[in-house]
């Protein structure tokens, strides 16, 4: 396999609030690649917001759409993919990411994540107490992002700094 061609697609994974979309924007500007924000593409495909999708169709329906949008995006060289925090929950998705792209995990502490996302109404999984939910999700998913080619700790760094650090590994 040719690692060089894999680098035509940079896949950002990591928990909610690690800055995937924001960092993705800087990476896109630096590389000239297009930014594909998977949550936005899912909402577009579904014709409604992510919270509405969870509420009206359920999480499995959302996850199926997520897998679909991920696989379509992985066929587009010259892209930065900002995935949703749960996109790694299916092994199939992880294998596709590793096969088609250069996978970069963004990490952050629970406290840092809580302070970044706050009581976010756009994140259905955080409904009913962000701090408790984030701590529980971090525990549940603590190894889920380990398969990445590279992991970058984002704590105390600006999105611009994180983007520059990723490009140093690139
Ligand atoms: C989710 C993360 C969200 C979004 C959905 C589910 C998750 O994306 O896909 O609310 O399971 O972690 P962000 O990581 O961009 O917040």
Which domains are seen in the chain, by residue range? 3-169 (3.40.50.300)
Q: Which residues are annotated as a binding site for ATP?
A: 17-22, 123
Q: What is the pLDDT of residues 96-118, one digit of tens each?
A: 999 999 999 999 988 888 888 87
Centre of ligand 1 from the C-alpha of residue 2, in Å: 30
| Closest to 24 in 3D by CA, of 98, 101, 33 | 33
Q: Which atom of ligand 1 is nearest to the CA of 89?
A: 11
Q: What lines the ligand 1 site, CB under 6 Å? A: 16, 20, 39, 50, 84-86, 123-125
Which secondary-structure segment (H or E) carries 128?
none
The C-alpha atoms of residue 81 and residue 69 are separated, in whole angstroms, by 11
- At 144, phi and psi to the nearest 5? -65, -20
Note the pLDDT of residue 162: 98
ipTM above 0.85, yes or no: yes
The C-alpha atoms of residue 114 and residue 95 are separated, in whole angstroms, by 29
The C-alpha atoms of residue 38 and residue 62 are separated, in whole angstroms, by 12
Strands 9-13 and 79-82: parallel
Say if residue 165's pLDDT is above 70: yes
3-state DSSP call for residue 19? coil
């Amino acid at each position: 396999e040719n690692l060089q061609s894999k680098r035509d697609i940079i896949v950002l994974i990591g928990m909610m609030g690690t800055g995937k979309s924001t960092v993705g924007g800087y990476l896109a500007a630096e590389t000239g690649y297009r930014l594909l924000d998977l949550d936005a593409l899912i909402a577009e495909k579904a014709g409604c917001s992510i919270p509405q999708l969870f509420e009206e169709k359920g999480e499995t329906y959302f996850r199926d759409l997520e897998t679909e949008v991920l696989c379509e995006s992985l066929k587009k060289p010259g892209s930065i993919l900002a995935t949703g925090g749960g996109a790694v929950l299916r092994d199939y998705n992880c294998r596709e990411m590793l096969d088609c792209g250069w996978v970069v995990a963004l990490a952050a502490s629970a406290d840092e994540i809580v302070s970044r996302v706050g009581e976010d109404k756009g994140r259905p999984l955080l409904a009913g107490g962000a701090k408790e939910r984030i701590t529980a999700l971090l525990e549940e998913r603590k190894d889920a992002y380990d398969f990445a080619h590279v992991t970058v700790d984002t704590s105390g760094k600006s999105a611009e700094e994180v983007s520059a650090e990723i490009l140093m590994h690139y």
